[in-house]
Amino acid sequence: MEVRRIAGALGAEILGVDLATSFSEERIRQAFLEHQVVFFRDQKLDPAQFMAFARAMGRPIEYPFVKGIAGFPEVIEVKKLEHEKHNFGGIWHSDTAYLDEPPMGSMLLAREVPPHGGDTEFANQYLAYETLSSELQRLLSGLKAVNSSSKADVSRTREDRIASDGKNAKSEYTAEHPVVRTHPETGRKALYVNCAHTARFAGMTEEESAPLLEFLFRHQVKPEFTCRFSWRTGSLAFWDNRCTQHNPINDYHGHRRVMHRITLAGDRPK
């Protein structure tokens, strides 16, 4: 097994591993915590094998708005079809930050990819926090943010999948979380707001919150904090939702892209 970094900020490709047969849970976990997102190539996994790998890394949970595939309620299809204009989750975000206990991590396995485009960007939220001034860090450390599942820009990206694969769910989920969270395993501090779900600071109006939030949204996805992954069929990404954001790029109109996703349970941010 070889771990090869793909960018200066975060991200590493793990080579020499067949996740369908045997693998070192400890070494993969170590790489995951160090690099925040890890990638595997040429993984020929059926849904049961994909679930087995997910269970080795955490506890799979169901996604609130979309039904799982047949026989596997925790595995959802993340897809954009040839005639569709919006890609699922096509905005910078941290997965389901509107839940009281947001996920520890997420896994995405490529089933069908377009002939070009469809890359995913990831951003390091440790660096986003650490590069702020000490005074701004001090200010943010006392704030909580209100996160909602119903902000317009991200709701629009779910419409096609809810229409085809939706399940009965609450119309809106909301949760308050610290603006700066401490990673429960590494002890490092990470910025924990995102433009898809964070509506305002707790105790403030949206208008009062907007100037600082807009600055943070721009800051936390600066190019020097990011890496970019180009998918092939059989590629698998596993990212740490507690200290990263991701953005699937919507640049393949007229083509089909189908992925399988598993979400892993987390804890309440502190």
Q: Assign residue 70 the CATH number of its domain.
A: 3.60.130.10
The boundaries of the domain holding residue 173 are 2-264
pLDDT tens per residue across span 123-172: 999 999 999 999 999 999 999 999 999 876 665 655 555 566 565 566 78
194 in any annotated domain: yes
Tokens of 6: 């793909």
Q: β-strands 37-40, 12-15: how paired? A: parallel
79 in any annotated domain: yes
41, 6 contact by CB (below 8 A)? no
Name the band, by pLDDT with cuts 50, 70 and 90, for residue 22.
confident
DSSP state letter for 171: S
Residue with the larger pLDDT of the pair 239 and 173? 239
269 in any annotated domain: no
Q: Quote the CA–CA distance of 252 and 138 in Å, as a whole number.
A: 42
In 79-205, alpha helices (H): 125-130, 134-141, 152-165
The count of structural domains within the chain is 1
Name the band, by pLDDT with cuts 50, 70 and 90, for residue 117.
very high
Active site residues: 93, 95, 246, 261
Burial of 159-183, coded b for 16+ CB within 10 Å and e otherwise, reads ebbeeebeeeeeeebebebbbbbeb
22 in any annotated domain: yes
270 in any annotated domain: no
Is the pLDDT at 225 greater than 70, yes or no?
yes
> Would you state the pLDDT for residue 199?
96
DSSP state letter for 91: S
224, 9 contact by CB (below 8 A)? yes
